[in-house]
Structure 1
């Protein structure tokens, strides 16, 4: 009879220890899973932020390059128009001078 009590007590102690160990292992696994999820979320957020910053920088650079190209084209067009107008004025002046000289010489 005494031996049965000892066996029952030993079995109960072993079961309690096994249950406690299983609970401890499950808690450790849960903590590890939470830490991994938090790290993955942080990494994803950092990657998204980096991608957004890179996209914004690329868009800004493209806009600046396009604006510079437009400014250069506008300057070239203005210079060409000014040169053409000056050439036309010079041709008109030369024609007027030639006509005046011809009229004076003829008269």
Structure 2
């Protein structure tokens, strides 16, 4: 009878140890999956932010180029008008 009880206790201990090991492995796998998912999310967020910053910088560069062209055109027109006015004044005075 004592041998049967010892055998049952040994089987129960083995089953408990196996269950604990399986639970620990499952928990570790879940933690690893969560950490990998978090890293992937962080990488995706960083990539999106970098893309948005690059697009914004490109838009700003285009806007600055357009503003520079408009300013140059306006200055050229003003110079032409001023030269014309000066020529008219010189012709009228003479």
Could you state the TM-score of these two structures normalised by the residue count of structure 2? 0.92
Gaps of 5+ in 1: 1-13
Residues 1:18 and 2:21 are matched in the alignment:
no
1:75 aligns with 2:62: yes
RMSD: 1.1
TM-score by length of 1: 0.82
Structure possessing the higher radius of gyration over alpha carbons: 1
After alignment, is 18-27 or 76-85 more displaced?
A: 76-85
Q: Distance in 2 between matches of 1:78 and 1:29?
A: 73
Show the counterpart of 1:27: 14
**Between 70-79 and 86-95, the greater mean CA deviation after superposition:** 70-79
Unaligned runs of 5+ in 2: none
Q: Between Structure 1 and Structure 2, how many residues are aligned?
A: 94
Runs of 4+ in 1 over 4 A off after TM superposition: none
Which aligned pairs between 1:48-63 and structure 2 lie closer than 5 A?
A: 48-63=35-50
